[in-house]
């Protein structure tokens, strides 16, 4: 196996609070290992178009507290093509990049897997997404910060909901995963969470109305995943099927992505960054760094992106009990 002397680092897909802490960690751990570090701007698109520059320790000073990503990020349709990946690989050759460390979500790691397979490049994935939907890791960079942002917003919405005896449907991100909705519902004392993982034959809205709205409880907060029409869909249903209730919708949108990362995300990102460099030193390749039961583990990228991460059914039960 070729000795690694130079690594490239990029962030791809949606930004997540804590990515900068991870960039800092990867950069300094790599330099500590005696390697050169090249930062790739705007993700896979930047690798295709040669947006690359060498990083030093100073390059990552005073970024641990910043949200977003200093490397920028972009979607890249061109990278989805063999020709695009070929251009990206030639950029790597130009700078002598021996291995890639990719911070991002499902799509970003799928891209990492593709270039690794086609050009025999050692790739290490780091899970950076607020959705927390990657299999094999208890948490992803940005998830804790997003969760805290949602809870802060819901606390404020609660004041209005109570003052006006309203039902508020609050839509949160998460794509096909309900981790943000479910856990923020518990943390904010919401009455229900409507999530993809709980979409059985039981009508979630009817179930909520039947058990969650009592004569003594006219105001309610319902957290809704953005999938299948999201909060607007359920609000319209209530207006039609239960016109006696005053319904409002709040879509938090990209508000959830921003802000300073929490201490938890900064520590997690720092651990992931160091672990990614250690993995390369051990000869690991095509794996995602993960954390399970507070221990760093390695998960094959193929498993991380192909297997659906299950939600803890106990959380659904906890919310159901506490919302009476």
The answer to whether 142 touches 129, Cβ cutoff 8 Å, is yes
Residue 131 known to be catalytic: yes
Q: Tell me what percent of the chain is helix, strand and coil, each rounded to the nearest 5.
A: 45, 20, 35
The answer to whether 83 touches 53, Cβ cutoff 8 Å, is no
Length reported for the chain:
324
Using the CB atoms, write b or e for 33-72: b if 16+ within 10 Å: eebbbbbbbbbbbbbbeebbeebeeebbeebbebbbbbbb
Distance CA 208, CA 201 (A): 14
Residues in CB range of 294: below 8 A, 6 or more apart = none
Tokens 């498993």, residue located: 303
Catalytic site residue from 131, 144, 198, 265: 131
Distance CA 227, CA 216 (A): 31
Which residues are known to be catalytic? 131
């Amino acid at each position: 196996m070729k000795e690694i002397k130079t690594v490239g680092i990029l962030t791809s897909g949606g930004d997540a609070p804590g990515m900068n802490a991870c960039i800092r960690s990867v950069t300094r751990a790599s330099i500590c290992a005696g390697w050169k570090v090249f930062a790739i701007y705007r993700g896979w698109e930047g690798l295709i178009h040669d947006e690359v520059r060498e990083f030093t320790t100073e390059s990552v000073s005073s970024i641990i507290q910043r949200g977003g990503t200093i490397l920028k990020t972009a979607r890249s349709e061109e990278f989805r093509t063999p020709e695009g990946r070929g251009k990206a690989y030639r950029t790597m050759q130009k700078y002598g990049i021996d291995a890639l460390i990719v911070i991002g979500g499902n799509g970003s790691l799928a891209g990492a897997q593709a270039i690794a397979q086609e050009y025999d490049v050692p790739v290490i994935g780091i899970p950076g997404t607020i959705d927390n939907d990657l299999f094999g890791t208890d948490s992803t960079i940005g998830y804790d910060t997003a969760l805290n942002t949602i809870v802060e917003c819901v606390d404020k919405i609660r004041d209005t909901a109570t003052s006006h005896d309203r039902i508020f449907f609050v839509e949160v991100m998460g794509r096909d995963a309900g981790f943000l909705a479910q856990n923020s519902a518990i943390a904010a004392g919401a009455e229900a969470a409507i999530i993809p993982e709980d979409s059985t034959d039981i009508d979630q809205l009817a179930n909520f109305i039947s058990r969650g709205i009592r004569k003594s409880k006219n105001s309610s907060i319902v957290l809704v995943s953005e999938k299948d029409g999201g909060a607007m869909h359920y609000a319209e249903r209530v207006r039609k099927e239960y016109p006696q209730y005053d319904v409002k919708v709040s879509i938090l949108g990209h508000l959830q992505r921003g802000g300073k990362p929490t201490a938890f995300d900064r520590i997690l990102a720092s651990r992931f960054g160091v672990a990614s460099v250690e993995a390369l030193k051990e000869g690991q390749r095509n794996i995602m760094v993960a954390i399970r039961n507070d221990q760093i583990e390695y998960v094959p990228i193929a498993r991380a992106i192909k297997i659906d991460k299950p939600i803890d059914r106990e959380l659904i039960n906890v919310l159901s009990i506490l919302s009476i």
